[in-house]
Amino acid sequence: MIVLVALVIAVVLKTFLVQVFVIPSGSMEPTLQVGDRVVVDKLTPWFGSEPERGEVVVFKDPGGWLENDHKPAADGSVLHKAASVFSAVGLLPSDDERDLIKRVIGVAGDTVECCDAQGRLSVNGTPLDEPYIAPGNVPSRITFKVTVPQGRLWVMGDHRDLSADSRYHMGNPGAGTVPVANVVGRAFVVAWPPSHFGQLGVPNSLSAVPVQVAGSSAVGPIPAEPPLVIGVLGVLPVVVGRWRVHRRVGPTAD
């Protein structure tokens, strides 16, 4: 009975409240390291909340972003059924998971462009200060100018030289933008390992950008990128413990 109740709670949490994802690549370094566990808020989208500039979001593959050579599980029937149950509650990755994680740079109506005379990325004509990008990376080695359509997002990884983000998919349907409907939720905290524990805040340079409209362009080849891996129960004690400490200590500054 205890196991059954735990499984039901895990399914409810994964479906409606929070979900934990394991970072499989360096495309979001230094913000997120390979192997980090991030907690994703899946609740607020149910109330109509949409992603904002600067947020780190998990989203379903819009089509063609991930490698197509997906290998089905070769387990026996009994093991395969058991793995399916664990996948459903988030204890194992699912065979058909096609999720990615990136930072939102532009929302509907924004004009995102790179690069200006100083080599900076700009949104609606406002150059961005981007302290979150990986050391040694420039804002973009690809020049582009796009206008984000209604109901879509322009996303980029913090490790610009390794991230197969919107820039590399401008030849796909949607011209590199991601449908808001594909967003699973916002990653708001790194829960594991303890040395990386911390909130994922929104940079001021992105949150203060004004709204505007403009045009679009094209880019080059797509580096391969693995999907995220899911997990739920293993990290819950860490999250709950941190919440209790937060309640005792009071609010902290980002």
By annotation, the residues acting in catalysis are 27, 102
Rounded-to-integer distance, Cα 138 and Cα 156, Å: 13
* Region of residue 63 (left: phi > 0; alpha: psi -120 to 50; beta: else): left
Instruction: Specify the residue for token string 């059954």.
Output: 4
* Region of residue 35 (left: phi > 0; alpha: psi -120 to 50; beta: else): left
What are the C-alpha distances in Å from 249 to residues 39, 129, 244, 245?
21, 32, 9, 6
At position 196, the amino acid (one-letter code) is H
Question: Which secondary structure element, helix H or strand E, spans residue 37, and what is its range?
Answer: strand 37-41
Which tokens sit at 133?
């990008």
Residue of 185, 122, 137 lying closest to 30 (CA atoms): 137
Which tokens sit at 210?
């004004």
Q: How far does Cα 48 stand from its chain's mean position?
A: 18
Which of helix, strand or coil describes residue 231?
strand
Residue of 201, 202, 184, 192 lying closest to 239 (CA atoms): 192
Which of helix, strand or coil describes residue 168?
helix
